[in-house]
Structure 1
Amino acid sequence: MQSSSRWAGSITKATHDQWALARRGQAAHLDSLESGVRSLKRRLSLALGAKGSRHAPGGYRSRREWHAKARRLAVLEDRLAQVRQDFEAGIVHVVRGGKRLLNTRHHLDQAQLSEEQWRARWEAGRFFLQADGESGKRYGNETIRLTPDGRVSIRLPAPLEYLANAPHGRYVLSCRVAFAHRGAEWADRVEANRAVAYRIHLDVERGRWYITASWTRPKARTLPLVAACAQGVVGVDMNADHLAAYRLDPHGNPVGDPERFSFDLTGRAAHRDARVRHALTRLLHWTRRTGAQAIAIEDLDFATGKTREKHGRRKRFRQLISGMPIARLRARIVSMATVLGIAVVAVDPAYTSKWGARHWAEPLTSSKRTMTRHDAAAVAIGRRALGHPVRRRTVPPRHHRSDGGGPRTVQTEPGSLGCEGPGRPATGRAHDARARAGKERTRGTSASSTVRDARSASRWVQDPLLQTE
């Protein structure tokens, strides 16, 4: 078969990208198998009914379950040996069109497909045109050229130049193309002759041809945390079906009402991805309207925390964390926020939901506002990004400044105006010895005052503008 160097390079590039993707998936599968084998071996080595710790499950409940897990361990060890052998030899298994479509061939009745319909999808998975862009070339791509007015032309290989209907061996399609999503950004690139990659493929279900444009954005510019949070921050709590957001000012006080951006993860993968992208778009536009320049998200990672061995029989919880598109949300929110000039701050997710519900759900609830656990977690995430503690400031003593109402746990910084100073010395107080004869002393001595003064001089300082209700 004869071909030009341009099309040969396109074929080679597509093959290398597919191999690299399969290689990364193989490495992730290998890590998952090794983790499962380690967990099974550890639990099988424990006695039946042994209690587990906070971070590790205990032994199995019955002899029957222990026997089933021992058989499962043998299956995983055999599978791990095969995958490890392929990984060390550099062998990957790639199926054009997907492994799921390949297995559908053996279950046509369940898929409600005929053999001809399945064959059409199978061939469509291999029937596509793809070409990378080149900066400096006309409209950013010499192989598949797409003009700003939507006209598509393809540079044919030398053996097929006799099919050209335009000069210089090009074939111009009769239809026009338009991009509804980020069309203005694409037009700016092609008019500046910047690189744009295209892929033309067939959708068998709809009977339409589609062209996909892609390009690489420059790396996001890193800002200092103080500069990013100068105008406040929007705390975002990521959940399985929605994003809970709350706006906080630079001092950590919640401003306005919480917002919720829902998305549905049922249906096809393309539809699920579009719903997630739409929810993130609404979140970023709302953030710009509030005036904040940063978004705080949790640095979650459930890659190694979805196994049955870690969470036991908690099937609903495992389904919940498995359905959360954490990696997809995190990757997309960074790229989309960069385009709009919004910084993204990743915070530690420890106890954000628990402490947020304990300290912020009740104070922010009113007759016109109903705070949920997720809204309170968004406040906790935002405060942690701003450098403030999640817990609210404690109230002062109720009726006097002695130990009757309890000592203060949070004090103003020493040296500030209005700071609580040391009390009068104990020797200056008159005590009636006769009245207190036979009674135990209940008030603190000078030693207790010294301890209380030392506690008030601690360096645990709160911002004086924090909410105190």
Structure 2
Amino acid sequence: MGGVRELAASFVAPGPSGVAVRDRLKHLISQDVHVLRVVGAHQGALASRDLRVRCADGPNHGAESWATRKRELTKVSSSRIAGAITKATHDQWALARRSQTAHIRSLEAGIKVLRHRLSLPIGAAGSKRGPGGYRSRSEWFHKSRRLQALEARHAAAVTDWQAGRVRVVRGGKRLFSTRHHLAEAGLTEGEWRERWEAERWFLAADGESGKRYGNETIRVTPDGQVSIKLPAPLAHLANAKHGRYTLTSTVAFAHRGVEWADRVEANRAVAYRIHYDTTRGRWYLTASWQRPTVQILPLKAALAGGVIGVDTNADHFAAYRLDPHGNPVGEPHRFPYDLTGTAHHRDAQLRHALTRLLHWAEQTGVGAIAIEDLDFSAEKTREKHGRKKRFRQLISGIPTGKLKARLVSMAAEHGLAIVAVDPAYTSRWGGQHWQKPLTTPRRRMSRHDAAGIAIGRRALGHPIRRRTAPPPHDRSDRVGHRTVQADRRARGREEPRPRIPGPRTRSVPPDAARTRATRTPKTVRDVRSEQEWVQDSLLLTE
């Protein structure tokens, strides 16, 4: 075990810090649609202009430049709209910055693997810890050219990062590239243009506590009436006082409607966003707000009622329930999902599988679910698994980041804690120590089911292996019990052994000595070695 890396400590994942609900804006008249389009296009142009200025500033941005940008936007909108636009700009620039850092790390991982494989002889065999050499001189030559290309990309990306230069496309880079592939996307130029313009609109406003109904720019009353504060150049479109436009449509949030109404009636901050779905031709209103910071449950308290270990795979969750002492309870459970098709289909499949998992966890009465803290950023590179395209697609399809965020959010509503554990060796050690012992004629254990047990035991703080080495003195329990999941002080985990007479337990009946002293061996051997000396009572009498 000299090559085993140090394992990271398990931790309870923090709960969600925000809530978002959505409802459809129905029965809008033509004037409502016209106002929404005009306002969205006007504020979208302001957001594009502000983003260009922010990207030009780079790392030299400060409070003074931010105040200057906000003053310029206030002249053509309002102070609150200008604040919402500048905040969205800052968030978008920060996201681009993080993506740039992740791209640099991905290039570094690919360069490292290429250099390693190019340094090996042609045809050198690989191992589980790293790939081997290339198969032919031709492949070696092409990979050496690719190494130069990646090094050039890495140098350019590092230069941009040091200069604070990012590249952002308002509306999305993928949609922008679709303009050159309309036939493959099944879109006409007019349909693409409509979708492009809708993605670049800006119809959002941050909440403000203490103001009427928690938002002055986009206001929603407890009755569901929606009104918008129009920018100064569009004030002539108002149909209400103080330059506001009231929509004919009303909203009613079916999910978390009571919580939203409590916040609105108390004038607490609620942020709103209006967007248009060009595919369905529908308008939607999204309300979001922050939750108070909740104290994270201690790891020991979260695991007091047992845990469910979940192994994440490309097409299913393999889950196993464990008691607080690390012993498997019941049968393994699987929750399948299909991650092919559109993004909406994949998201629905993931939600359905997680919902079934959480319902089963509630039925068992456990207080926590243990998952692996997965990160496949280094494994997705094509340089490590160059010819295994399907395997790379399989790894890329596992929703690691989205899964953890969604599971934490959904588990918080069920009162369950999510424990993240180090994913190292869980499948290997789980299959080695638990797959075969738990396999019966009526129970089929897979490697994934055994990995779920390993994940649960690691979350509980127990070793994954089932038994330790025998005691050093002899085969008795003099220096401690040999099973890891049992302890002499925990009577409920393994009941005391029955006192069966015999040399194994060193408990003999009262007349055992006389029986051994008077019995005659059946075989011819030294009888004196089998007998014990006993004083005859007749010799003591006269």
- Note closer, same or farther for the CA distance 1:298–1:146 as it changes in structure 2 (3 Å cut): same
Residues 328-377 of structure 1: per-residue CA shift (max 9 Å, x gap): 11122223323433212122223322333344344545566543332232
For 1:256 and 1:125, locate their aligned partners in 2 and report how far apart those are by CA, in whole Å. Answer: 50
Residues 359-411 of structure 1: per-residue CA shift (max 9 Å, x gap): 43445455665433322322221122222333335899xxxx979xxxx9548
2:313 paired with 1:246 = no
269-278 vs 66-75, greater mean Cα deviation: 269-278
Give the drift of 1:6: 0.9
For 2:260 and 2:338, locate their aligned partners in 1 and report how far apart those are by CA, in whole Å. Answer: 28
Pairs within 5 Å for 1:134-213: 134-213=208-287
Q: Choose from 272, 285, 290 the match for 2:346.
A: 272
1:125 maps to what in 2?
Answer: 199
1:446 maps to what in 2?
Answer: none
2:408 maps to what in 1?
Answer: 334
For 1:319 and 1:64, locate their aligned partners in 2 and report how far apart those are by CA, in whole Å. Answer: 25
For 2:289 and 2:77, locate their aligned partners in 1 and report how far apart those are by CA, in whole Å. Answer: 26
24-33 vs 174-183, greater mean Cα deviation: 174-183
Identify unmatched segments of 5+ residues in structure 1: 425-433, 437-469
For 2:435 and 2:175, locate their aligned partners in 1 and report how far apart those are by CA, in whole Å. Answer: 47
1:455 maps to what in 2?
Answer: none
SS in 2 for 1:341: coil
- Note closer, same or farther for the CA distance 1:162–1:248 as it changes in structure 2 (3 Å cut): same
Q: Choose from 360, 363, 366 the match for 1:292.
A: 366
Contact 1:220–1:338 (CA under 8 A) maintained in structure 2: no
For 1:112 and 1:322, locate their aligned partners in 2 and report how far apart those are by CA, in whole Å. Answer: 26
Give the drift of 1:228: 1.1
SS in 2 for 1:96: coil
Residues 216-235 of structure 1: per-residue CA shift (max 9 Å, x gap): 33444222222111111111
For 1:346 and 1:2, locate their aligned partners in 2 and report how far apart those are by CA, in whole Å. Answer: 48
Contact 2:77–2:232 (CA under 8 A) maintained in structure 1: yes
2:162 maps to what in 1?
Answer: 88
Percent pairwise identity: 67
Residues 248-301 of structure 1: per-residue CA shift (max 9 Å, x gap): 222223333333333332333344334323432332233223211111111221
Give the drift of 1:111: 1.8
2:419 paired with 1:345 = yes
For 2:348 and 2:269, locate their aligned partners in 1 and report how far apart those are by CA, in whole Å. Answer: 25
SS in 1 for 2:428: helix
Q: Choose from 450, 453, 458 the match for 1:376.
A: 450
For 2:207 and 2:153, locate their aligned partners in 1 and report how far apart those are by CA, in whole Å. Answer: 41
Contact 1:127–1:202 (CA under 8 A) maintained in structure 2: no
The amino acid across from 2:205 in the alignment is A
For 1:268 and 1:12, locate their aligned partners in 2 and report how far apart those are by CA, in whole Å. Answer: 33
For 1:144 and 1:110, locate their aligned partners in 2 and report how far apart those are by CA, in whole Å. Answer: 39
The amino acid across from 1:23 in the alignment is R
1:72 maps to what in 2?
Answer: 146
For 1:199 and 1:70, locate their aligned partners in 2 and report how far apart those are by CA, in whole Å. Answer: 49
Contact 2:466–2:483 (CA under 8 A) maintained in structure 1: no
Q: Choose from 4, 12, 16 the match for 2:90.
A: 16
For 2:442 and 2:346, locate their aligned partners in 1 and report how far apart those are by CA, in whole Å. Answer: 33
SS in 2 for 1:308: coil
Give the drift of 1:102: 1.3
SS in 2 for 1:244: strand
Pairs within 5 Å for 1:395-406: none
2:38 paired with 1:38 = no
SS in 2 for 1:388: coil
The amino acid across from 1:44 in the alignment is L
- Note closer, same or farther for the CA distance 1:413–1:121 as it changes in structure 2 (3 Å cut): closer
Identify unmatched segments of 5+ residues in structure 2: 1-74, 491-495, 508-523, 527-542
Residues 80-115 of structure 1: per-residue CA shift (max 9 Å, x gap): 222222211111111122111111111222222211
Q: Choose from 178, 181, 185 the match for 1:107.
A: 181
> RCO higher in 1 or 2 (8 Å CA, sep ≥ 6)?
2
SS in 1 for 2:242: coil
The amino acid across from 2:360 in the alignment is W
Contact 2:310–2:317 (CA under 8 A) maintained in structure 1: yes
For 2:333 and 2:489, locate their aligned partners in 1 and report how far apart those are by CA, in whole Å. Answer: 40
- Note closer, same or farther for the CA distance 1:326–1:248 as it changes in structure 2 (3 Å cut): same
2:415 paired with 1:325 = no
The amino acid across from 1:117 in the alignment is E
Give the drift of 1:303: 1.2
348-357 vs 27-36, greater mean Cα deviation: 348-357
SS in 2 for 1:302: coil
For 1:257 and 1:182, locate their aligned partners in 2 and report how far apart those are by CA, in whole Å. Answer: 35
For 1:195 and 1:395, locate their aligned partners in 2 and report how far apart those are by CA, in whole Å. Answer: 61
21-30 vs 315-324, greater mean Cα deviation: 315-324
- Note closer, same or farther for the CA distance 1:362–1:57 as it changes in structure 2 (3 Å cut): closer
TM-score normalised by structure 2 residue count: 0.70
For 2:469 and 2:444, locate their aligned partners in 1 and report how far apart those are by CA, in whole Å. Answer: 24
For 1:284 and 1:189, locate their aligned partners in 2 and report how far apart those are by CA, in whole Å. Answer: 28
Contact 1:57–1:309 (CA under 8 A) maintained in structure 2: no
Q: Choose from 422, 429, 434 the match for 1:360.
A: 434
Q: Which has the larger radius of gyration?
A: 2
The amino acid across from 2:398 in the alignment is M
Q: Choose from 261, 277, 280 the match for 2:335.
A: 261
Give the drift of 1:302: 0.8
Pairs within 5 Å for 1:384-423: 384-393=458-467, 410=483
RMSD: 3.3
Q: Choose from 213, 229, 248 the match for 2:303.
A: 229
Task: Report the number of matched residues.
Answer: 421
2:378 maps to what in 1?
Answer: 304
For 2:227 and 2:281, locate their aligned partners in 1 and report how far apart those are by CA, in whole Å. Answer: 21
- Note closer, same or farther for the CA distance 1:276–1:58 as it changes in structure 2 (3 Å cut): same
